[in-house]
Amino acid sequence: FFSSRRRHTRLQGDWSSDVCSSDLIQNINFSNLLLFFHYINYIFTLKKRFVSFYNVIYFLDKPQYDIVHAHYGFSGKIVADFKSIGLLRKSKLITTFHGYDFRVEDGYYEKLFRTGDLFTVNTRYSNLKLLMLGCPRKKVRILPVGFDTQLFNTASFTSRNNHGGFSLLFVGRLYAIKAPDFFIQVCESIKLHYKIPFHAYIIGDGDMFLQLQEMIQQKGLNDNISLMGSRKQAEIHEYMQ
């Protein structure tokens, strides 16, 4: 497992943040030392950040892996860079895209799409977005996100409203790509055109939090929408039930 969203690389759970680079360099063999100098030239050519330099030291002293699974296209792009200089060259690369990583310029993932063996997305919409970025169709698989069905059953459904209406729920990061503002517009339309009693809950945090708060006030939806902020998984389960 490799993710650039985390501070350190994690593979098989044996990475420790207190391991210093000098400890890792001690066990580098001659073959990997050549790769190391190759990478020095590589980072100066492409002006790579120090984090990429630090990550490559960790990989130099590790055996080849059968499969490397990268979460987010940004992480897959880093692994593709490693493979281009000989690291992980025998490893199959699977990259899972989650949506946030679609917001890039044309050609950004060109090397990843060429080098990667398989790409997974969770919806047909995400599949279309990935193809539009230039990913070969034959390399893409739709893998829906699963959930524990034991957590949700009709017998456990309870309304959080005391007015006899129904509840709406939005869960996700409050960024433009998630369209939480559109959710508020839907709530406004229900109130204005259908006159149906309801209450909506927005769970999540992000750059749009204050904007959404102001939007709710301007549209007079304070009595209909609760902006909940971040919540723990157990609480989110309760709201979903």
Q: Could you read off the pLDDT of 41-79 as tens digits, one per residue?
A: 655 554 444 445 666 666 766 667 899 999 999 999 989
Q: Are 77 and 102 in contact (CB under 8 A)?
A: no
- DSSP lists the bridge partners of residue 146 as none
Averaged over 129-152, what is the pLDDT?
A: 89
Backbone angles phi, psi at 10, to 5 degrees: -125, 120
Question: Looking at residue 62, what is its pLDDT?
Answer: 67
Q: In this structure, how many other beta carbons lie within 10 angstroms of the beta carbon of residue 224?
A: 19
pLDDT at 240 over 90: no
* Residue 37 pLDDT > 90: no
CA-to-CA distance for 14 and 88, rounded, in angstroms? 18
